[in-house]
């Protein structure tokens, strides 16, 4: 038997060598394929033949936030601190995000040079074109009523100086603000850009129609008194959203009105407090039956 084995071993050895070479070749091919596969590729697929790898979340985009590098932010800090303590907190505005925003935003930067010394006084101030910058307390009160958070998308009707938009921009992700007086829209945009508010977007136009291509909005704020609530704004308010704006009654009295929309789209309104704002102009001045929907 030993002689027989001796004679047949070379043949078996050759076969074994060929098998080993074939296996080595197959292993090399598999290794090469695996090396060429992207590191984040998914090896298996679901029953529909689609990859189990999840697509990136397109809603996870972040808008650049205020920079606070302009010298105005370092000016008159003590005045803003006193303003918040005496005019705002003392009147029961307590939202920490609102209080922080009111302390940060340099109100004087939004007021013409002649009136800047009164910037932190407890009353509205003229900004030209027969328009005013609202009393600090009213700005804070209306902002608090919106219940903003860092994911909020806000629409403002009546940019004016841009101050209210900046306060909202300190809290919310994005603010879209519309001003019917083109000169004011241009000046507000300039100031907001100089101060570093990349998340506030200004448009010259009639706020009655809102900003439909950016709708729906989590919150809408109006800073000019309308005789009625524009229907397009109600449509652009997201379910679960809140809107606050001054509304003028038949006798000329104005009230801040808070509007909420529930998740089924039902609208609720409540009068909050008497106020006095400049009137909203444009489409809203037409009789209701003549207004464009």
The angle formed by the CA atoms of residues 157, 232 and 248, to the nearest 5 degrees, is 55
Cα separation of 170 and 34, whole Å?
49
Active site residue 134: yes
Radius of gyration from C-alpha coordinates of the chain: 32
- Structure tokens, 207: 């706020």
Nearest to 258 by CA among 145, 141, 178: 145
Catalytic residue among 134, 152, 161, 187: 134
Nearest to 170 by CA among 254, 83, 77, 103: 103
Cα separation of 203 and 184, whole Å?
10
| Inter-residue contact 225 to 284 (CB < 8 Å) | no
Element (H, E) at 221: strand 217-222
Cα separation of 246 and 233, whole Å?
14
Nearest to 162 by CA among 114, 122, 128: 128
Class of residue 158 by CB neighbours under 10 A (exposed 0-12, middle 13-18, buried 19+): buried
- Structure tokens, 63: 């808008």
Active site amino acids: 134
């Amino acid at each position: 038997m030993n002689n027989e084995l001796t004679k047949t071993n070379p043949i078996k050895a050759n076969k074994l060598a060929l098998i080993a070479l074939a296996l080595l070749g197959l292993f090399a091919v598999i290794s090469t394929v695996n090396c060429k596969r992207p590191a984040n590729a998914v090896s298996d697929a679901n029953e529909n033949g689609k990859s189990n790898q999840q697509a990136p979340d397109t809603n996870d985009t972040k808008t650049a936030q205020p920079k606070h590098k302009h010298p105005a932010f370092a000016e008159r800090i003590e005045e803003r601190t006193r303003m918040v303590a005496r005019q705002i907190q003392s009147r029961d505005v307590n939202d920490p995000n609102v209080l922080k925003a009111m302390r940060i935003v340099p109100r004087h930067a939004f007021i013409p040079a002649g009136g800047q010394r009164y910037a932190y006084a407890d009353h509205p101030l003229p900004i030209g074109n027969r328009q005013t910058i609202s009393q600090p307390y009213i700005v804070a009160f209306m902002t608090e009523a919106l219940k903003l958070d860092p994911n909020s998308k806000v629409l403002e009707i009546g940019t004016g100086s841009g101050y209210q938009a900046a306060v909202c921009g300190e809290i919310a992700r994005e603010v879209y603000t519309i001003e019917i007086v083109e000169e004011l829209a241009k000046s507000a945009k300039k100031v907001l850009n100089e101060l570093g508010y990349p998340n506030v977007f200004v448009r010259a136009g009639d706020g009655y129609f809102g900003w439909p291509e950016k709708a729906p909005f989590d919150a809408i704020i109006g800073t000019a008194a309308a005789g009625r609530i524009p229907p397009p704004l109600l449509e652009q308010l997201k379910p679960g959203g809140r809107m606050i704006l001054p509304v003028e009654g038949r006798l000329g009295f104005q009230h801040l009105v808070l509007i909420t929309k529930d998740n089924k789209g039902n609208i609720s309104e409540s009068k909050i407090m008497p106020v006095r704002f400049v009137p909203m102009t444009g489409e809203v001045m037409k009789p209701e039956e003549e207004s464009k929907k």
